[in-house]
Structure 1
Amino acid sequence: MSDDPAPGFVRVRLDLAYDGAGFSGWAKQRSRRTVQGELESAIQTVLRLPDPVELTVAGRTDAGVHARGQVAHVDLPAAAWEDEGARLRRRLAGRLPWDVRVWEVRQAPAGFHARFAAIWRRYAYRVGDHPGGVDPLLRGHVLWHDRPVDVDAMNAAAKLLLGEHDFAAYCKKREGATTIRTLIDLHWERTPDGLAVATVRADAFCHNMVRALVGAMILVGDGHRPPGFPGEVLAGRVRHSAVNVVRPHGLTLEEVGYPADDQLAARTREARNKRTLPGCP
Structure 2
Amino acid sequence: MKRIALGVQYDGSAFYGWQSQPHGKTVQDELERALREFAQTPVQTVVAGRTDTGVHGLGQVIHFDTELDRAESSWVRGTNAFLPKTVAVQWAKPMPDEFHARFSAFERTYYYVLYVNPVRSPMLAARAGWVHRRLDIDAMRAGVACLIGEHDFSAFRSSQCQAKTPIKHLYGIDLRQQGDFIHFRFRANAFLHHMVRNLMGCLVDIGSGRRPVDWMAEVLASGSRDRASPTFMPDGLYLAQVGYPEHFGVPAPQTGSVPWNTVWTEQPSI
Length-normalised TM-score, structure 2: 0.88
Name the structure 2 match of 1:68: 58
Q: What secondary structure, in the 3-state scheme, does the structure 2 residue paired with 1:169 have?
A: helix
Mapped partners of 2:223, 2:61: distance in 1 = 31
Partner amino acid for 1:247? M
For 2:12 and 2:100, the matched residues in 1 are separated by 23
Paired AA for residue 73 in structure 1: H
Alignment of 1:248-263 (within 5 A): 248-261=234-247
* Paired residue total: 249
Please show how residues 112-131 of structure 1 align to structure 2 within 5 Å: 112-131=99-118
| 1:171-217 Cα deviation digits (max 9, x unpaired) | 014467211000001121102x4201111010000111000011011
- In structure 2, give the amino acid aligned to 1:133: R
More displaced stretch, 109-118 vs 207-216:
109-118
Cα distance in structure 2, aligned partners of 1:85 and 1:69: 18
1:190 partner letter:
Q
Distance in 1 of aligned mates of 2:102 and 2:126: 27
| Residue 268 of structure 1: aligned partner | none
- In the alignment, the residues of structure 1 paired with residue 163 and residue 240 of structure 2 have an alpha-carbon distance, to the nearest angstrom, of 28
Deviation at 1:73, TM superposition (A): 0.5
The separation in 1 between residues aligned to 2:199 and 2:70, in whole angstroms, is 47
**Identical amino acids, percent of aligned pairs:** 38
- For residues 9-43 of structure 1, give each alpha carbon's deviation from its aligned partner in whole angstroms, at most 9, with x where no partner exists: 11100001000011010000111401001111111
Provide structure 2 residue ranges, at least 5 long, that are not aligned to the other structure: 251-270
Match 1:87 to one of 60, 74, 85: 74
What pairs with 1:212-223 in structure 2 (closer than 5 Å)? 212-223=198-209
**Pair 1:10-2:2 in alignment:** yes
Which has the higher mean CA deviation after the structures are superposed, 210-219 or 107-116?
A: 107-116
CA distance in 2, matches of 1:46, 1:175: 32
Inter-partner Cα distance in structure 2 for 1:83 and 1:254:
27
* Residues 202-235 of structure 1: CA deviation (Å, up to 9, x unaligned): 0000111000011011110000111111111000
Alignment of 1:1-281 (within 5 A): 9-49=1-41, 52-77=42-67, 80=68, 82-83=69-70, 85-134=72-121, 136-173=122-159, 174=161, 177-191=164-178, 193-241=179-227, 243-261=229-247
